[in-house]
Amino acid sequence: MLLKLFKGTGFHVIFLLIVTLAALWAGAFLHPQKPPLAIFEIRPMPLYDLLKGLVAGSQFAETLLVFVIVCLMLFLLVNFNTSQFFINERTFLPALFYTLFISFFPACQVLNPVLPASIFLILALRRIIDSYRVAGIAYNFFDAGILLGVGTLFYADLIWFGILLIAGIILFRTISFTELILSLLGLATPLILSVGLFYVLGKDIWLFIDDIRDNLFERVQGFPFTRLTVVLLIYSSFVLIVTAGFLIVRLSTKKIKSRKTFSLLLWTLLLAFSAFLVLPSISTEIIWIASIPACYLMAHYFVFEKKRIFSEITFSLLVVLVFLVQALWFFK
């Protein structure tokens, strides 16, 4: 019954989404947390440092800013599917699942560089997908590279997702050396411009380069996991594996563009997971990025799964576990 309520496209679903988002973020407003002692807080990238300066000294303002950016992210997630129509159904489920995923770690519901960087990631993905069947040289990859490059000025580790530019060329285009160079040039452009601006302003360029290096390779402090959080992570991982398998089995039945779009999202999820395992500078904050492809895999599964009782139970249990994690954090 709970899943059925959220599968529609009427105004009542938007209302339920607002209620769910407000309930899961109530604790962030009532008991605002301090940012973690991570390298991206101690030595922030320039755009994140600027963003922090806008709300300096007010935890409520920081939380409100995060909440506004989350709302923008939810709009982009729904609009992404509406414009590309790769799930083949109009649905608000991607927004709902993203809301649930980013609530796994209540301590992460603070101003952080990953959230604004995620905005630029999803915009870059859209530009890559728009290159499909573009005649001649597709400058979409230059645009996507610039978007990812701007995102790295918030969160340095987003640069690793530049691999998606190469994956996008392989998936959506005939491999072109020109487009590959354009994509890498686009990725480097915001960083080159930043160095030039630092030079003009008389700032220490080598300090900026050191900040980038430390943000990419310095070990970051992770958030503590409660036992319930571990249970939630195990359960959600199981559901995600099921949904990924459900999609892979049905990929051949989809239109070519939808198939390639889902493949790019799987690449994104694989990169996020690999970065979490391999890179010492990445911790639980990667949930903001990993949730982008994950929410579409989940949405696709729960839209097309025919076993209604199983899908209702699976969905409801996920929602209950997320609310329990939030409640125990709130009342601890």
Question: Is the separation of the CB atoms in 143 and 149 below 8 Å?
Answer: no
pLDDT tens figures, 24-53 = 998 888 877 777 778 888 889 999 999 988
Token pair 């319930």 in the structure block, residue? 228
pLDDT attached to residue 35: 72
pLDDT attached to residue 11: 85
**What is the rounded average pLDDT for all residues in the chain?**
91
| Domain boundaries along the sequence of the chain | 2-330
Higher pLDDT, 139 or 219: 139
pLDDT attached to residue 291: 96
Question: Is the separation of the CB atoms in 325 and 24 below 8 Å?
Answer: no
Burial code of 123-139, b = ≥16 C-beta within 10 A, e = fewer? Answer: bbbbbbbbbbeeeeebe
Number of H helices, E strands in the chain: 15, 0
Question: Is the separation of the CB atoms in 288 and 114 below 8 Å?
Answer: yes
Amino acid at 146: I
What percent of the chain has pLDDT above 90?
A: 67
Predicted TM-score (pTM) of this structure: 0.94
Question: Is the separation of the CB atoms in 155 and 45 below 8 Å?
Answer: yes
Q: Token digits for 132?
A: 């499909």
* Residue 221 host element (H or E): none
pLDDT attached to residue 39: 83
